[in-house]
Amino acid sequence: MSLEKVFQALWSDYIELNPSSKKIFDALQRRGEEVQNDHIAFRTLRHPRLGIDQFAHPFEALGYRKIRDYHFKEKKLYAWHYEHPDENAPKIFISELLLDQFSNFCQSTFCRLIESLQDADLTHPDFSYLGRRWQLSSSEYLELAQESEYAGWVSAFGFRPNHFTVLVNRLKTLKDLSEVNAFIKSLGFNLNSSGGEIKGSRAECLEQSSTLAESVNVEFSDRSLLVPACYYEFALRYPGTNGKLYTGFVAASADKIFESTDRPLHLKS
């Protein structure tokens, strides 16, 4: 499958779960913008059958290569970002939950879920938007989410895009992230304010903001629950010391962006 078809399939899966992003995308297009995607982010788990390398394999087959890794000690995550020789192709950001740093319950539950996957699932060409291929109860989800919102998200949604990102540099009618944020709020959407609405700075060569994930009904083995799904991110990049736009990520900012899928207080139980 070509890069274009892969990204179209990923986008279709993403907006089905997160229609707010399509509304924002359409609103930008009505302003005359040609929206370029900066990066797509995915979440996975460190396990002998899974992990970043396994998840990245289909993208590497399309020409993507590892560029830089990132550590998130507080959230117990590790990540790599990938780039394609075509500079217009979106970057790929894949993070993984470090299972061995979590409770016995978290480890045993995910090991059971992962072992239930068929080999055909793991090698499926559409793995990056295959979704959830296991069954778990609502109480298992809630206990996982109590320990780690990230763990809860992966258990509920499986393998699919966590977010897409608008490259603000390519916008013509909104000159900076403050204007983008004001526009998003004027449409009635809430922004992630953890660490401030704008994460990062010009000095770090990257500023980011994001919507809060909208909650959707997820069917578990015993009942359905509202679970925050996906969000839309906005990135403004600045030139680095080499004079070219910085293409990496800022770990401290990404750490706060992760919280865009945290459950609101009314969904904590």
Question: What does the pLDDT read at residue 116?
Answer: 93
Question: What does the pLDDT read at residue 125?
Answer: 82
Full DSSP string of the chain: --HHHHHHHHHHHHHHH-HHHHHHHHHHHHTT----EEEEEEEEE-STT-SHHHHHHHHHHTT-EEEEEEEETTTTEEEEEEE-SSTTSPEEEEEEE-GGGS-HHHHHHHHHHHHTS-HHHHT-TTGGG-B--S---HHHHHHHHHH-HHHHHHHHH-BSEEEEEEEGGG-SS--SHHHHHHHHHHTTPPBP-TT-SSEEETTTTEEEEEBPPPEEEEE-SS-EEEEE--EEEEEEE-B-TTSSBP-S--HHHHHHHGGGGPPPGGG--
- For the chain, list the domains and their CATH numbers: 3-267 (3.10.180.50)
pLDDT tens readout for residues 61-112: 999 999 999 999 999 999 999 999 999 999 999 999 999 999 999 999 999 9
**Model-level pTM?**
0.95
pLDDT tens readout for residues 106-159: 999 999 999 999 988 888 888 899 999 999 999 999 999 999 999 999 999 999
pLDDT at residue 2 tops 90: no
